[in-house]
Chain A
Amino acid sequence: MSTVNYEPWTLATILTGGLGTLAIFSFLVRENRLYRIFEHLYIGIAAGLGLVVPIKNYIWPQILVPLLGYDVVQYPDGTFSKVYDPTNLLYILPLSFGCLYYFVYSRRYAWLSKLVIGFSLGMSGGLAFKGFFNEIIPQLASSFKPLVVYHDGALDLFRSFSNTVFVVTLLSVMYYFFFSFRRRARFAEMGAGLGRWLMMVCFGAFFGSTVMARMALLVERLQFLLNDWGAALRYCIGL
């Protein structure tokens, strides 16, 4: 007889979680209805969460609270924590403009939704420009590491070798993707070939990492099924 005492909610969470895990794993045998039901439930739950969380974490505190003046507190003596900033009313403009998205359902006025889609595309263009320089310049600067490293006055062979490999990899892989002119020289062809080989090392290493990450998840699920779910099941049937 199990000595663990489960609360009803905890028990329901473990049992349902185990059942859902088995339903998802049943896909390994073949596609079946139970798998599809739990798959759709998962999508629905993720969508439900995705619907409320942005409102809770962003739209309400960042836009609606200042717009409605809920961040202005009245103290017991009748004074206010701050004066309402009327520029917050300007938030009505982007909110109203964003509502044009919903004209996508109107055949006659669908072009209005293109205004706001275009605006969002333009905004991502501007952000990409800013993001590119903020991200790429520091990375480029840090990529060109010293090829000969001295540590305490002595040549650090390992770091020198590692830095050389890094720089050679970076340049050869970039050269592999450089298609602006035809590579005729044998040396140029060798450089691109080296880039291809080093890319394979990169892909292999990332593949290995991905396999291990998935395996870690699989092991966690199997542990959950064998330990937590098994114990809860034994508790339910009174073993």
Chain B
Amino acid sequence: MQYRAKLIKLVTFLGGIYYFLEFVLPASIAGVKIDQYHEQISNGFVAVGAAAIGLGLINLLMVHGSRIIFRRRGWFESCALLLGLTAMAYATAGEWAGSVDSSAQAGRLMMLREFSDRIMADAAANKADVLPVSKRNQFLYDAATKEIPELRALVTRLSNMAGEDVETARAQRLSPRVLAATDALVSGLEDLPRGEAAVGDVGKNSEISQRLADASVLSREGETLLFEQTRTKRFYEFLYQSFFISLGAAMFSLLGFYIAAAAYRAFRIRSSESALMLCAALLVMLGQIPFGLWIWDGFPEVRVWLLSIPSSGAFRAIKIGALVAGLVMAFRMWLSIESESFAERS
């Protein structure tokens, strides 16, 4: 069993060594760039943690699922929790899939723009292992032409949006812009030298790139606007606004009541320290409300001074102390020299 503890200690050490070395070593040694894979390595480290995402879900299902199955105390509340979890996970996944779907055409148009830029870059570099410019432009023309009916359909869908809300007004404004961008793209494509008989001229490609980019941006804007009207997005917004935002704000504002009760206990003047604390809190509060301004217009400045000079100084001192302690603790954990290292527990 001893080898397991040693292995765990070794892996713990290896987990920290990269960031330690990354900090203490220069970016390149003897011409070898050490930090060239930093992003991939960092992503890899986070991927290790990301794999644990299911643990929370499994634990919630185990705790609340068993409470529901065996009808233990609070089973109804557990039902509410699992219902909320399922509904929100479903709505968020649906919203994600929908937003990916709605930006698909914009992505294709952007890809064609990149293709047009690539044709120009390859022509400038005289690249030999690619098709001639005229043939590649023909491919660009064919692919871009296929997008035109969808862009025109978007114009129709935006024009057909009915209602008196802000979104409809936006759609009505956007529709002619999409139409103009589509027409500009069509006329640009017609001028594009292409096919067997054409000369390998890339002069028009930069224009096409710009028009494809414009069409892509407008397509994304239009599709996003239309997606916001769908049931999937509305259901997500309903859950997010009415539960997540409203209940979160209510929970935190509830603390306002308790903090008032706590203030009564904390601010009863029993010592000079509590009197000082009361004065500082009162000055800060008076500096933030119109009533304070009505009494004396210098309160806001006193508040700012209190928060930025003595409070900031004291807080920084506490933070420095906490960070030093945190560093020592981190070292002890990294080197597995904590008094009771978890590697040694059975």
Chain A residues packing against B (C-beta within 8 Å): 5, 7, 9, 12-14, 16-18, 20-21, 24-25, 27-28, 33, 36-56, 58-59, 62-63, 73, 75-77, 79, 81, 87-88, 90-91, 93-95, 97-99, 101-102, 104-105, 111, 114-130, 132-133, 135-136, 139-140, 143, 162, 165-171, 173-174, 177, 195-212, 214-215, 217-218, 220-221, 224
B244 lies within 8 A of A28 (CB): no
**Residues of chain B with a CB closer than 8 A to A198's CB:** 310, 313-314
**Residues of chain A with a CB closer than 8 A to B40's CB:** 87-88, 90-91
Instruction: Report whether over half of chain B's contact residues are helix, strand or loop; otherwise say mixed.
Output: helix
A111 lies within 8 A of B4 (CB): yes
Binary per-residue interface labels of chain B (308-344) against chain A in the complex, 1 for a CB within 8 Å, 0 otherwise: 0111111111111101101101110111100000110
**Residues of chain A with a CB closer than 8 A to B60's CB:** 47
Tell me if B297 counts as interface (CB < 8 A to partner A). Answer: no
Tell whether A63 pairs with B81 under 8 Å between CB atoms, given A16-B242, A49-B244.
no
B278 lies within 8 A of A204 (CB): yes
Docked complex Cα distance between A119 and B240 (Å):
35
Tell me if B263 counts as interface (CB < 8 A to partner A). Answer: yes
Tell me if B48 counts as interface (CB < 8 A to partner A). Answer: yes
Docked complex Cα distance between A56 and B330 (Å):
31
**Residues of chain A with a CB closer than 8 A to B250's CB:** 20-21, 24-25, 221
Binary per-residue interface labels of chain B (1-32) against chain A in the complex, 1 for a CB within 8 Å, 0 otherwise: 00010011101111111111011000000000
Binary per-residue interface labels of chain B (202-225) against chain A in the complex, 1 for a CB within 8 Å, 0 otherwise: 000000000000000000000000
Interface size of B in residues (CB-CB distance below 8 Å) = 139
Looking at the assembled complex, report how far the CB atom of A173 sits from the nearest CB atom of chain B, in whole angstroms.
Answer: 4
- Of residues 269 through 294 on chain B, the ones whose CB sits less than 8 Å from some CB of chain A are 272-274, 276-285, 288-289
A42 lies within 8 A of B260 (CB): no
A44 lies within 8 A of B80 (CB): yes
A121 lies within 8 A of B327 (CB): no
**Residues of chain A with a CB closer than 8 A to B112's CB:** 76
**Residues of chain B with a CB closer than 8 A to A47's CB:** 56-57, 60, 81, 84-85, 88
A118 lies within 8 A of B251 (CB): no
B139 lies within 8 A of A77 (CB): yes
**Residues of chain B with a CB closer than 8 A to A120's CB:** 15, 48-49
B310 lies within 8 A of A122 (CB): no
B334 lies within 8 A of A48 (CB): no
